[in-house]
Amino acid sequence: MTIDKQLVWVRDPNEGFVLARLHELMGEEADIIPIDNKHQRRVCSFEDIFPAGEPNKDVNDNCELMFLNEATLLNNILTRYSKNKIYTYVANILLAVNPYEDIRDLYSSSTIKNYQGRSLGELPPHVFAIADKAFRDMKSLKQSQSIIVSGESGAGKTESTKYILKYLCDLWAKGAGPVEQKILDANPILEAFGNAKTTRNNNSSRFGKFMEVHFNNKYQVVGGYISHYLLEKSRICTQSAEERNYHVFYLLCAGAPPELRAQLKLTKPDDYAYLKNGCTQYFTTPASEKKLNSSQKSKQQQAKGGLRDPILDDVEDFQRLHQALSRVGLSEEEKAGVYRVVAGVLHLGNVEFEDDDGSRGGCVPRDRCLPSLQAAADLLAVDAAELRRALVARLLQSARGNKGTAIMVPLKTYEATNARDALAKSVYSRLFDYIVNRINLSIPFQASAYYIGVLDIAGFEYFQMNSFEQFCINYCNEKLQQFFNERILKNEQELYKKEGLNVPEIRFVDNQDCIDLIESKNHGIFHLLDEESKLPKPEFGHFTHSVHKELGTNNPRLQLPRSSRLKAHRTLRDDEGFLLRHFAGAVCYNTNQFIEKNNDALHASLEFLIQESNSPLVKQLFQNVDNNNAKGKLNFISVGAKFQSQLSQLMEKLKQNGTNFVRCIKPNSAMCRRAAEGALVLAQLQCSGTAAVLLLMEHGYPSRAPFAHLHRVYAPHLPPRLAALQPKLFSEAIVHSLGLSDKDYKFGITRVFFRPGKYSEFDTIMRSEPENLKKIVERVLKWIIKSRWRRSIFAVLSIIKLKNKILYRRQCLITIQKTIRGHLVRKQHRPRYQAIMKIKALNANLKDMETTTAQLKKEKESAQKNIENLRTAINSACVTIKSNEKISRSEVDQIYTKLTKDVEAQMAALQKAMVDQKNREEQERLRKIEAEIRAAEEQKRQELEKIKQEEENRRLKVEMETRRKAEELERLRQEEQDRLSAQKMQKQLEEAARAEQEDRERLEQERRDHEMAVRLAKETNGHVEGSPPQLRSFPTMDSMNGENKLNRSERVRMQQAIQGKQKYDLSKWKYSELRDTINTSCDIELLEACRHEFHRRLKVYHAWKAKNARKTTMAEQERAPQSIMEAAAKTPRVTQKGEILGARHRYFRIPFVRPAGGGDPVEADRRGWWYAHFDGQYVARQMELHPDKTPVLLQAGVDDMQMCELSLEETGLTRKRGAEILEHEFEREWSRHGGATYLPPDLRKR
């Protein structure tokens, strides 16, 4: 077997990921054997497999991992968690896993001191480091900062917030001053009134808060401010069985001194309708349990004892609350007033109603509840009889007619009950507002320059029943997620682009559509809800119906409850709820309380009554609040609208500030120490967008500093010579001379960027001892000299190069001119000199004549004279032609013809004379002469012929040229057409890719919905229907033949089989079986089919490897020169034609350039040769000849993993000019480098 046995992580529904080894390649999937045999062997998609690197090593910053992916992220966090290292960075984001136990010294004063003033990354990750970063950023950027703490309920947000505040208020561990102490005191008070035990967290904050710590321009704490959001009101009246009401009720029952309890008439939780349906146990410690007497204990408490939590103790916490209230400035009297209101709410809850037989359909309080009514009235300081009246009847001011006419409309039993609950909620929530306000007033506040705000707000929530509260909080989380995406992903990428850093783009899911769906001005869900409330008879069914009708059509985000994966949701009718797909998963909202919860106004009679209370505190609670009753129905301000405006103010603040993120993670749902559920943690990482950040950081540079900033900060440490440099040169000089690796930083246009953790390394070096600094200064000076020297050398070389280029061009110009001039002159004079040559050729005839003449016996002189005349004529003709440049061709021809004629005539005369002379005796010779003449004629004819031929050729050339031009035009047109169709094709491909991406995102979302549903089902013993989406299917070996195994690749394969009418279905074959068949079979068709399948799997495998390649060593792992891999990537993947190419051997050779490490330009040019021998469609042997390394020789059947897996067609080699070589050329190189003799596949033995 030749598969590399590297460790991989494979996705698992329970553990998140399990460690395994690749066993078989199965096309688009792989057969995987987990290391731990308690996990099943499985076949899964390459999308679910990730290289593992070193699974036992953990790093402070996830970006330092060798392989960056979800799996290594999860493993790193869990490995650290098991070693009690609860904090980890992803670049600048802090991940905090809830330890559920106190870790020694983690938050001690000495730890605070350690983190002060240290760059992020210098010390192990910590919330203190984030707090310190915010503080330093505030100072150096002169900008207020936010720290956004997010996570599920129970993930540790509130605790982290407390530590951050402690750090900020306790800077330099001096201990907190008076202002700081007040800010810290706020927490126990807020928690007593705003926290409660839920199934997910014993101390769950049921409100959101943004706590600002204000600093003056000397960066001293001068004040604070708390904004709070969305206190959960329904909890005041009801809780589910395992949960409790707000802590303060139990604190009073358990911890208040007996006199106070007597005053407030408080006994045990069982006695109050607002407490008795939930959990009625107190949080105690063994010691505090003893302080309780039996009249304080509920039945549950007596049976089961107290609840335990490391930070909660209802008995002792009362004292803490009491003292903290004093410290924020409440007098004894005011505190008593607060307790009375709290107790008043409890007694009010005990007032029950029954139908009143006497009146028209009204109701009265039950007799046995009258003491409670009296107690409530006393505690709230209103008249009991009036309270009774206001609870059972509603004041109606007639809209028309005489103003001021008021009628009392009796209420039905359930209406009175609702009015009572509304009063309780209103009183309690206003009390909460009052307390926050008192805290704010108590914190002295001078003009502040900047602040650091810490946001602790409930994370994304989903229960079996989700109502208006969850809707609001999940809307808030959508906004925060969008803000996170923008800050971290969008802005970061824009900056890289602007600064010219070449970092690949990362996609993230944009949730704007979901936000629009909720908040859009004229048709969002909030808007529809407010519209419904304005109708004369608002009705939740009608509201739900309009949500579905106006927003639900064709909206993947909004669906009917019956499309939920949870059975409990599917029982809801269409008009009872809606399913909203949030970024973190789908949540089904039950709408039946939406309308009531959206309106917190009391009915008028109650409001008037309570405003007239004799208690100054109660009176104050109901002063100057939005009086919805006065505004009337059409103008009322709904809870949703108030929250929307609060949230948009908050978002505005966040946008103006610098941001720091802390992502809290809940390790298990049992809330116990040292236990982690992988899948739960993974789901939270995915929801929080951390995985996407990781992708970005794989190539990104999270730390950066503008040149000017570096100059400002470090110049003072350095000698004036360096300090005087321009910021840019200054930054370059110091960064370059510190000996950081090139990969760790990049220069943008205005700033330097650092890889994770490297800025702090840099900072540490720069702030080191003077000794060390001296060495650095030396190095910087050297670097500057070197860089100046290099720059001038470079300039000189460039100028020389330029000069040479100019000279060369001049030379070329002269040659061009010379040639053209010569050509023109020759063309102009050609007829003349050709004529002269021809005419001169006549001289030869004259010579003949002269010889003839010499033999003449008579008339010799005259003949000689004639010849002499002819010669003169010839010469003068030549002179004429030579001297007359403008002579025309026909004139020349005339002269020539005339001369020829004369010569011929003379010749004839001579001949005649010779005939006469040697009539008989010279018969032979005469004939000879005649023959000669004929030959001369023949020559002349041939010459004419030649001239004609030349002309013909010229004509043909011209014709050819025009044809070529026409073809050229045609070719251009064709190319244009090809380009257009290629564009069209490209568009289609992109379209398809986008569709696939969308498909993937949809599946991802569905998977998340499913996982969420499973979690919920586990918690509630509910039932989930439907199988998980197929993207992440986990078929086991047994189910491989089952029908649900018909996944994507299988379908593709079937289709291929049908299309290609393939004889063999090899998809179920093992990789090793394929290998063996190739090596042993004699069935050529089978053999060929096996080779196709074998190489197809290799291709998928290599694609996966390339996607998950190590960050550093890319070029090393090539199996063929880059040009070939690129060509293959461009050619569409054709299914093999199934044509059997048998033993067609072809040989190729191409050069390659392998980039050398280090990026040194001199070394970069490493050329080598790559040889390949294809026997059929695939490589049988391949060979790399390197200039500086031993050659690499590879053979199919032995080295498949390292060899080029592409088919001949895909490599494009046959289309490369000059690439194909002859067999002996290949064999010569092969044997020269010691290659073994080639064996055809059927002879290869394993």
Ligand X SMILES: Nc1ncnc2c1ncn2[C@@H]1O[C@H](COP(=O)(O)OP(=O)(O)O)[C@@H](O)[C@H]1O
Residue 148 to residue 137: CA distance in whole angstroms:
15
Q: Tell me whether residue 243 or residue 904 sits nearer to Mg ion (CB atom).
A: 243
> What mask, x for binding Mg ion by CB under 5 A, covers residues 130 to 169?
---------------------------xx-----------
Q: Which one of Mg ion, ligand X, none interacts with residue 100, CB within 5 to 8 A by kind?
A: ligand X
Residue 683 to residue 1028: CA distance in whole angstroms:
15
CB of 694 vs ligand X, minimal distance in Å: 23
Q: Which one of Mg ion, ligand X, none interacts with residue 255, CB within 5 to 8 A by kind?
A: none
The interface with ligand X within residues 201-240 (CB under 6 A) comprises 201-205
CB of 99 vs ligand X, minimal distance in Å: 5
Sign of CA dihedral 72, 74, 77, 80: negative
Q: Which one of ligand X, Mg ion, none interacts with residue 151, CB within 5 to 8 A by kind?
A: ligand X
Residue 679 to residue 667: CA distance in whole angstroms:
10
CB of 437 vs ligand X, minimal distance in Å: 23
Structure tokens at 673: 């120490």
Q: Give every CB contact of residue 1072 below 8 A, 6+ residues apart in sequence.
A: 1, 24
Q: Please tell me what DSSP assigns to residue 1121.
A: -
CB of 395 vs ligand X, minimal distance in Å: 42
Q: Tell me whether residue 32 or residue 664 sits nearer to ligand X (CB atom).
A: 664
- Using DSSP's 3-state secondary structure scheme, residue 739 falls into coil
Q: Tell me whether residue 161 or residue 866 sits nearer to Mg ion (CB atom).
A: 161
> Got the DSSP string for 765-785?
HHTS-HHHHHHHHHHHHHHHH
CB of 320 vs Mg ion, minimal distance in Å: 18
Q: Tell me whether residue 151 or residue 757 sits nearer to Mg ion (CB atom).
A: 151
- The CA-atom distances, in angstroms, between 169 and each of 222, 332, 992 are 10, 27, 55
CB of 1128 vs Mg ion, minimal distance in Å: 54
Q: Binding Mg ion by CB under 5 A: which of 205, 245, 470, 533?
A: 205
Q: Are 1200 and 1076 in contact (CB under 8 A)?
A: no
Q: Tell me whether residue 205 or residue 1207 sits nearer to Mg ion (CB atom).
A: 205
CB of 206 vs Mg ion, minimal distance in Å: 9
Q: Strand 93-97 vs strand 585-590: parallel, antiparallel, or unpaired?
A: unpaired
The interface with ligand X within residues 156-185 (CB under 6 A) comprises 156-159
Q: Tell me whether residue 100 or residue 451 sits nearer to ligand X (CB atom).
A: 100
Here the contacts of 907-916 (C-beta below 8 Å, separation 24 or greater) are: 907/845, 907/848, 907/849, 907/933, 909/863, 909/866, 910/849, 910/852, 910/853, 910/856, 910/863, 911/852, 913/856, 913/858, 913/859, 913/863, 914/852, 914/855, 914/856
Q: Which one of Mg ion, ligand X, none interacts with residue 605, CB within 5 to 8 A by kind?
A: none
102 binds ligand X (CB under 6 A): yes
Q: Which one of Mg ion, ligand X, none interacts with residue 156, CB within 5 to 8 A by kind?
A: ligand X
Number of residues that bind Mg ion (CB under 5 A): 3
Which residue spans within 1043-1114 are E strands per DSSP?
A: none
> What mask, x for binding ligand X by CB under 6 A, covers residues 273 to 312?
-------------------------------------xx-
CB of 190 vs Mg ion, minimal distance in Å: 10
Longest dimension (CA), the chain: 179
Residue 899 to residue 843: CA distance in whole angstroms:
11
Q: What stretch of H or E contains 1117?
A: none
CB of 456 vs Mg ion, minimal distance in Å: 6
198 binds ligand X (CB under 6 A): no
Q: Tell me whether residue 21 or residue 673 sits nearer to ligand X (CB atom).
A: 673
Q: Tell me whether residue 119 or residue 158 sits nearer to Mg ion (CB atom).
A: 158
Sign of CA dihedral 239, 244, 247, 251: positive
Q: Which one of Mg ion, ligand X, none interacts with residue 155, CB within 5 to 8 A by kind?
A: ligand X
Q: Tell me whether residue 415 or residue 461 sits nearer to Mg ion (CB atom).
A: 461
Query: Whose CA is closest to 570, among 13, 1013, 1018, 1019?
Result: 1013
663 binds ligand X (CB under 6 A): no
Number of residues that bind ligand X (CB under 6 A): 21
The interface with ligand X within residues 311-370 (CB under 6 A) comprises 311
Q: Are 444 and 574 in contact (CB under 8 A)?
A: no
Q: Which one of Mg ion, ligand X, none interacts with residue 310, CB within 5 to 8 A by kind?
A: ligand X
Q: Tell me whether residue 8 or residue 129 sits nearer to ligand X (CB atom).
A: 129
Q: Tell me whether residue 247 or residue 1053 sits nearer to ligand X (CB atom).
A: 247
Indicate the residue type of 838: K
Residue with tokens 């290391």: 35
CB of 304 vs ligand X, minimal distance in Å: 20
Q: Tell me whether residue 207 or residue 583 sits nearer to Mg ion (CB atom).
A: 207
Q: Tell me whether residue 205 or residue 1077 sits nearer to Mg ion (CB atom).
A: 205
Q: Which one of ligand X, Mg ion, none interacts with residue 311, CB within 5 to 8 A by kind?
A: ligand X
The interface with Mg ion within residues 388-417 (CB under 5 A) comprises none
Indicate the residue type of 1049: S
Residue 953 to residue 956: CA distance in whole angstroms:
5
- The CA-atom distances, in angstroms, between 572 and each of 264, 472, 579, 592 are 43, 21, 11, 11
Q: Binding ligand X by CB under 6 A: which of 664, 734, 1208, 1213?
A: 664
Q: Are 578 and 548 in contact (CB under 8 A)?
A: yes
82: left (phi over 0), alpha (psi -120 to 50) or beta: alpha
125 binds ligand X (CB under 6 A): no
CB of 1008 vs Mg ion, minimal distance in Å: 23
Q: Are 477 and 515 in contact (CB under 8 A)?
A: no
CB of 689 vs Mg ion, minimal distance in Å: 20
Q: Tell me whether residue 277 or residue 668 sits nearer to ligand X (CB atom).
A: 668
CB of 53 vs ligand X, minimal distance in Å: 28
Q: Which residues, listed in sequence order, are joined to residue 214 by a DSSP beta bridge?
A: 223, 451
Q: Binding ligand X by CB under 6 A: which of 16, 151, 208, 689?
A: 151
First to last CA, the chain: 10
Task: Identify the burial level of 211 via C-beta atoms within 10 angstroms of its C-beta, where 0-12 means exposed, 13-18 middle and 19 or more buried.
Answer: buried
CB of 199 vs ligand X, minimal distance in Å: 12
As separate numbers, helices (DSSP H) first and strands (DSSP E) second, the chain gives: 43, 29
Q: Tell me whether residue 189 or residue 517 sits nearer to ligand X (CB atom).
A: 189
**Chain Cα centroid distance, residue 659:** 19
Residue 177 to residue 1207: CA distance in whole angstroms:
76
Question: Among the candidate windows 30-38, 125-133, 204-212, 801-809, which touches Mg ion by CB under 5 A?
Answer: 204-212
Q: Tell me whether residue 98 or residue 470 sits nearer to ligand X (CB atom).
A: 98
Angle in degrees, CA 1127, 1130, 1133, rounded to 5: 105
Q: Residue 677 — φ and ψ, nearest 5°?
A: -105, 110
3-state helix, strand, coil in the chain (%, to 5): 55, 15, 30
1035 binds ligand X (CB under 6 A): no
Q: Tell me whether residue 161 or residue 544 sits nearer to Mg ion (CB atom).
A: 161
99 binds ligand X (CB under 6 A): yes
CB of 434 vs ligand X, minimal distance in Å: 23
Residues in touch with ligand X (CB under 6 A): 98-102, 151, 153-159, 201-205, 310-311, 664
Residues in touch with Mg ion (CB under 5 A): 157-158, 205
